[in-house]
């Protein structure tokens, strides 16, 4: 059986063969060797400009087809939306109640901190149509404020009042792996999954407008990870919009505690603090550019 098909490479060479299949990564073909029969081989789509495939052995007509391959190697994305801290607030509630705060105010204050703002950015290099590597940044901010009345537990003689404000900042940057799959022939719709691992930073600011109470700043560093699933639509070849859901995880067990006068690096358990679980769920919308 004679070879019916041809592959044209980017260097201008022509391979006479029988094409078996064409995907976004490789074209698989067979060539006839007199001593071995047909021998299978494959070539990355990046090394091809087109292929010519005969319709059948009795049809002299040939059809020239372009090879499916990513037109843009780089993807730059930005996202923004809402984040929800998954850790329990019971530890904070207990510490506020033990300090003399009203139980309902303590619970409301703690729960207000669970919802916040999520923002992020990433850049990936796609080494083929489905897979790529890059860098991902993910940020989160939340705050709560309330006028608190603290009972000093001296038989109702002394109370102190203050407007209490607390702010969390959680930042992450890491090395990211991306996979994506197109599910229409036009390549307008795709699903994507990113997995990133790297450095996480936690910042907790606590302020009072009462001179009797010191303000506090807690900073901590740790290892973190971020898993993200997205559905994206490309109205144009160079841009897409998408919906994203992601999970961020990190634990912090020591950090630097400052009260405005003194600063010390402490293990949280040594100062009767719980280890900090900064895991959260993020929902966002984003835009991505291809070049």
The model's pLDDT over 42-53, given as tens digits with 9 standing for 90+, comes to 888 878 888 888
What pLDDT score was predicted for residue 57? 41
Owner of token pair 């005969």: 54
Supply the Cα-derived Rg of the chain in whole angstroms. 29
The whole-chain average pLDDT of the chain stands at: 87
Q: Which residue has the higher pLDDT, 114 or 56?
A: 114
Q: How far apart are CA 28 and CA 16, in angstroms?
A: 13
Name, of 47-51, 80-84, 91-95, the range with top average pLDDT: 80-84
CATH topology of domain 74-290: Porin (2.40.160)
Q: Report residue 69's pLDDT band, with 50, 70 and 90 as the boundaries.
A: very low
Residue 101: pLDDT above 50?
Answer: yes
What is the residue extent of each domain of the chain?
A: 5-66, 74-290
| Residue 116, Ramachandran bin (φ over 0: left; ψ between -120 and 50: alpha; else beta) | beta
Check residue 59 and give its pLDDT: 43
Model pTM? 0.76
For residues 69 and 179, what is the distance between their CA atoms, to the nearest angstrom? 15
More confident: 289 or 60: 289
Please write the tens of the pLDDT for every residue from 194-242.
999 999 999 999 998 876 667 899 999 999 999 999 999 999 989 999 9
11, two tokens: 């260097």
Question: Mean pLDDT across the stretch 83-88?
Answer: 95
């Amino acid at each position: 059986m004679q070879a019916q098909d041809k592959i044209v490479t980017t260097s201008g060479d022509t391979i006479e063969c029988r094409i078996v299949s064409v995907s976004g990564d490789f074209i698989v073909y067979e060539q006839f060797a007199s001593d071995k029969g047909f021998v299978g081989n494959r070539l990355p789509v990046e090394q091809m400009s087109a292929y010519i495939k005969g319709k059948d052995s009795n049809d002299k007509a040939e059809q020239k087809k372009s090879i499916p391959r990513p037109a843009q190697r780089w993807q730059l994305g930005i996202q923004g939306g809402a984040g929800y801290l998954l850790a329990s607030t019971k530890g904070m509630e207990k510490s506020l109640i033990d300090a003399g705060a009203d139980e309902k105010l303590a619970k409301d204050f703690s729960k207000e901190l669970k919802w916040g703002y999520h923002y992020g950015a990433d850049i990936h290099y796609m080494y083929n149509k489905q897979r790529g590597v890059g860098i991902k940044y993910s940020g989160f901010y939340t705050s709560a404020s309330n006028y608190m009345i603290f009972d000093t537990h001296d038989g109702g003689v002394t109370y102190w009042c203050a407007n209490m404000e607390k702010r969390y900042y959680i930042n992450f940057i890491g090395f990211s792996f991306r996979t994506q799959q197109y599910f229409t022939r036009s390549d307008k719709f795709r699903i994507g999954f990113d997995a990133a691992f790297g450095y996480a930073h936690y910042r907790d600011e606590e302020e009072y407008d009462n001179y009797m109470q010191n303000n506090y700043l807690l900073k901590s560093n740790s290892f973190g990870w971020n898993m993200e699933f997205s559905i994206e639509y490309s109205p144009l070849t160079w841009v897409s919009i998408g919906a994203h859901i992601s999970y961020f995880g990190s634990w912090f067990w020591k950090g630097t505690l400052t009260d405005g006068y003194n600063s010390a690096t402490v293990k949280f358990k040594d100062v009767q603090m719980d280890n900090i679980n900064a895991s959260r769920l993020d929902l966002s919308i984003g835009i991505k550019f291809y070049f």
